[in-house]
Structure 1
Amino acid sequence: MDREKIIKDFISFGLSKREAKVYYTLFLKKELSAAEIQKHVSILRTKVYEILLQLMNKGFCAERKIGRLKKYYATDPYQAFQNQINNLDGILKTKKNIVSEILNHIAPIYEKNTSDVNPLEFIEILYERKRICERYIHLQQTAQKEIMIFTKKPYALPEKDNVKNAFNVLQRDVTLETIYEIEDFENTEFEKEMIEKFAYSGGKTRFISELPMKLAIFDEKITMLALKDPVSLKPLITTIIINHPDYARAQKEIFKAYWKRSFSLEELIEKYSNSRKIKEK
Structure 2
Amino acid sequence: MSGAVQTSAPTRATSGGLLEGLGIPEAEQNAYLRVLASARCTEAGLAVELGITADRAERLLTALAHRGLVTRHDGVPVRWSAAAPDVAVEALLLRREEELLRTRGRVGELMRAYRQAQQPQTADLMEVVTGQAAIAERWRQMQDGARRHLMLFDKPPHISPTDTELERSLLARSVRIRAVYEAGSVSAPGRLAEIREVVAAGEEARLLPQLPCKLAIVDDRWAMLPVATGSELQAAVLVRASSLLDALTGMFEAYWHRAVGVPDAGGPTLGAGSRRGELLTLLSAGFTDDSIARQLGVSPRTVQRWVHEVMEDLGARTRFQAGIQAARAGLL
Give the TM-score normalised by the residue count of structure 2. 0.44
Residue by residue over 1:141-198, the C-alpha shift from the partner in whole angstroms, topping out at 9 and shown as x without a partner, is 1111111111111112213x2x332112111100111111112222222x22211101
* Secondary structure of the corresponding residue to residue 187 of structure 1: coil
Aligned to 2:150: 147
Q: 1:203 to 1:210 in 2, by over 3 A?
A: same
Aligned to 1:253: 250
CA distance in 1, matches of 2:144, 2:207: 24
**Gaps spanning 5+ residues in structure 1: where?**
1-115
Pairwise CA RMSD: 2.5
Aligned to 2:132: 129
Counterparts of 1:73-222 in structure 2 under 5 Å?
118-159=121-162, 161=163, 163-189=164-190, 191-222=191-222
CA distance in 2, matches of 1:179, 1:132: 20
Letter in 2 for 1:253: G
Letter in 2 for 1:216: A
Letter in 2 for 1:132: I
Aligned to 1:279: 304
CA distance in 2, matches of 1:263, 1:165: 25
Asked if the contact 2:213/2:225 (under 8 Å) is kept, the reply is yes
CA distance in 1, matches of 2:207, 2:304: 22
* Secondary structure of the corresponding residue to residue 210 of structure 2: coil
CA distance in 2, matches of 1:135, 1:236: 14
Q: Which has the higher helix share?
A: 1
Structure 1 position 236, deviation (Å)? 2.9
CA distance in 1, matches of 2:281, 2:222: 36
Q: Which has the higher contact order (CA 8 A, sep 6+)?
A: 1
Letter in 2 for 1:172: R
Say how many residue pairs are matched: 160
**Gaps spanning 5+ residues in structure 2: where?**
1-118, 269-276, 284-288, 294-301, 307-332
Q: 1:234 to 1:156 in 2, by over 3 A?
A: closer
Aligned to 1:269: 278
* Secondary structure of the corresponding residue to residue 251 of structure 1: helix
Asked if the contact 2:182/2:210 (under 8 Å) is kept, the reply is yes
Aligned to 2:234: 237
Aligned to 1:101: none
Structure 1 position 221, deviation (Å)? 1.6
Identity %: 22
Letter in 1 for 2:177: L
Letter in 1 for 2:169: N
CA distance in 1, matches of 2:173, 2:242: 22
Give the TM-score normalised by the residue count of structure 1. 0.52
CA distance in 2, matches of 1:259, 1:199: 16
Structure 1 position 227, deviation (Å)? 4.2
Asked if the contact 1:222/1:245 (under 8 Å) is kept, the reply is no
* Secondary structure of the corresponding residue to residue 216 of structure 2: strand
Structure 1 position 136, deviation (Å)? 0.6
Structure 1 position 214, deviation (Å)? 0.8
Structure 1 position 250, deviation (Å)? 1.4
Letter in 1 for 2:212: P
Structure 1 position 140, deviation (Å)? 0.5
Structure 1 position 271, deviation (Å)? 1.6
CA distance in 2, matches of 1:151, 1:166: 14
